[in-house]
Amino acid sequence: MKFPYGISDFKSLITEGYFYCDRTDKIPLLENTKSQLFIRPRRFGKSLVLSMLENYYDVAKKDEFEAIFGGLKIGNNPTELRNSYFILKLDFSCVDPTGSAEDVKKALFNHINVRINGFHKFYNYKGFEISDIEINQEDALYSIDSLIAAIRMTPYPVYLLIDEYDNFANTVMIGVQSAGKRYKALVYDEGPLRTFFKVVKSSTSGSMFDRVFITGVSPVVMSDITSGYNIAENIYFEPEFNDLCGFKQDEIEDALKKLVDKCGFEKEKIQEPVNLMQTYYNGYTFSHAADERIYNPTLSLYFFKQFEKTCGYPRKMLDSNLAVDESKLEYIANIPRGRDLLMNLVQKDQGVVISDIEDRFGIKDMLTDKSKDNKFLVSFLYYFGVLTIAGDTEDLKVILKVPNLVMLGLYVKRIQNMLLPEPEDRDDGRDVAELVYQKGEMAPLCRFMEERYFKVFHNRDYMWANELTLKTAFLTLLYNDIIYIMDSETEIDRRYADLTMIIRPDKRYGKIFDVLIEFKFVKLKDAGMSADQAKKLSEDELRQIPEIAKQMKDGEKQVQDYGNKLEQKYGNLRLQKFVVAALGFERVCFRKLKTQSKK
């Protein structure tokens, strides 16, 4: 099997026999509207969709239709519009967004001019007699007008494809606040980007740009240029396009079955890679009415390619090409309310509820702190793929959750950097965390929490501190998805264990432990003492506080029960079981339950 990792050329993918999940049946649906905006997180296959449309509608590829589409769904019943357009394709990710506003304008105009010049040369080479197009190096909008004038003399209109239309906003989105003025110069008033879309809008009314398909990551830029281009239909929430990009569960399973057969896995292990991919990668829903979650295609192909090559799983489940998404979490973490949101998302069930997802917010919203309410922050994370739709509440609000374990890892890393800004503290914290699963030693981690980690919590955090806060603090240091399937709030018989660390099936050869931890938290006021008094307690005195003793006893019963259920579920675990109890943000004690080690 050939997996097209990093390949977005539809023709090459099909004709060279690469793995492809057929989405050509969506083409008739896309013809229902002439101008569309389609939004998905980065690295989700948007460029391949544009390439599919380019190959399907390009008049110069009419003779190649059977070779490209003959074996696909649309090949049996093509639409009347197939191969009936000139294609002008712009890719704004090719435009350098750095430098002054004038520099960016020049880069944008250069890109448009180069693509128009290439358009003219290509179609003349293919035998379509298009009169000369005058390229104005200083004004690409003039070049577009010249292109339209030339096209009017032919029987074919233009299908305009724009990839990553919002590329210019991304610099601002990741927190480069000084870029605000430069962005406004491009988008507001008569800025070149707004004017460009005005020209496109004008050309659609004259049927020269008969169809327009635009992709991007968020609605930010389109919100800012609405008066310049208010004719695009937003299709990114429509259920019929939920799977336009990405892979479905049955497609994942079909590919894995073929790989498992090739690698000669035993029959009982066939489900193992399916479960692993579902745990780490599945979880995206882009429409309230969609009935299936979608896998990120880049992550999936990364897994497939490694599996096909070595008959083993990737060491790191997060493809480094997606690690850039952490910058979006950094942007949120630097917003006053963003820190609390990230903490809450990593706590219970990794979910949040808002009235609805914002479908319009501009750069002013991103640069003005007073506009950054919870609804804005959550919507921002949704568009960038670090939250996804998980359903509705009884009162019809929207539930959004962290989509999968890979994205949870990005949250955990961001919180760790946020709470432990010094690299030395992070290194020391990871060192003592490793002792938990390498040697079953919890004491060094608890001391680190008391002496260094808890000091970063502000006084206001005492007001909402609970066992979830405690669990999050430990999770940020213990998290290791290279070795473990990390599960916060594992459901066991409709009850929940606080934190389980189950060794990945391909890592069980190592001399490490599975880990189960139950967290308990007692507020200082409930124990009837101050922070200074708590700090002076000995270890034995801490354990003898009635509230701590009660919580520890309850935790022991829970851990034993959860541990037995985990053993039944997985079998052959080397399980280390702990109860960890905190007194405020001052002291931590633990109890390790006896367990029988298994080889």
Domains of the chain: 10-241 (3.40.50), 249-315 (no CATH), 421-599 (no CATH)
- Residue 563: which H helix or E strand, with range? helix 546-570
Antiparallel, parallel or unpaired: β 388-392 and 398-401:
antiparallel
**Cα–Cα distance measured from residue 19 to residue 308, given in angstroms and rounded to the nearest whole number:** 12
Other CB atoms within 10 A of residue 533 CB: 13
Provide mean pLDDT across the span 499-514. Answer: 92
Query: What pairs with residue 492 in β-bridges?
Result: 495
Radius of gyration of the chain (CA): 28
3 state DSSP class of 545: coil
Closest of 462, 461, 325, 477 to residue 403, by C-alpha: 325
Please give the mean pLDDT across all residues of the chain.
86
pLDDT tens figures, 397-441: 999 998 888 888 888 888 888 888 889 999 999 999 999 999 999
Measured distance between the N- and C-terminal CA atoms of the chain, rounded to whole angstroms = 37
Q: What is the mean pLDDT of residues 168-179?
A: 55
Q: What is each CA distance from 425 to 137, 428, 437, 444, in whole angstroms?
A: 54, 5, 19, 14
Task: Give the model's confidence band at 362: pLDDT under 50 very low, under 70 low, under 90 confident, else very high.
Answer: low
Higher pLDDT, 592 or 291: 592
Look at 196 and 491; give whichever has higher pLDDT: 196
- 4-40 confidence digits (pLDDT tens): 988 999 999 999 999 999 999 999 999 999 999 999 9
* Of the candidates 549, 552, 409, 582, the residue with the CA atom closest to the CA atom of residue 483: 409
- How is the beta sheet containing 398-401 ordered, strand by strand? 351-354, 398-401, 388-392
Give the Cα separation of 57 and 55 in Å (integer).
6
- 10 Å CB burial of residue 289 (0-12, 13-18, 19+) is exposed
**What per-residue confidence (pLDDT) applies to 340?**
77
d(CA 377, CA 370) in angstroms, rounded, equals: 12
pLDDT at res. 177? 43
- How many separate helices (H) and strands (E) can be counted in the chain? 26, 13
d(CA 32, CA 109): 31
pLDDT band at 176 (very low <50, low <70, confident <90, very high): very low
Q: Tell me the whole-structure pTM to 2 decimals.
A: 0.88
Q: Does the pLDDT value for residue 187 go beyond 80? A: no
Contact 86, 156 (CB under 8 A): yes
